[in-house]
Amino acid sequence: MSADTDVEVLRRQGRVVVVGASLAGLRAAETLREQGFTGSLTMIGDEPYEPYDRPPL
């Protein structure tokens, strides 16, 4: 199996757990999907509110 094939298998069948459901965790999950990750994606967090976009300072 070539390295390219391994990456494609991970994109389709891989599992990623993002610890922290704040804005940074949300961005990590969004970026994974935007880059073609279609595997299992789990977010774990105890934040009391949903993430929201903050204006740049």
pLDDT tens track of the chain, all 57 residues?
Answer: 566 688 888 888 889 999 988 888 888 999 999 999 999 999 998 888 776 666 767
Residue ranges per structural domain of the chain:
3-44
pLDDT at 38: 92
Contact 41, 18 (CB under 8 A): yes
Q: Which helix (H) or strand (E) holds 18?
A: strand 15-19
Tell me the pTM.
0.71
Which residue has tokens 């940074």? 24
SS3 at position 45: coil
SS3 at position 41: strand
pLDDT at 3: 65
21 HSE (CA, 13 A, CB side): 11
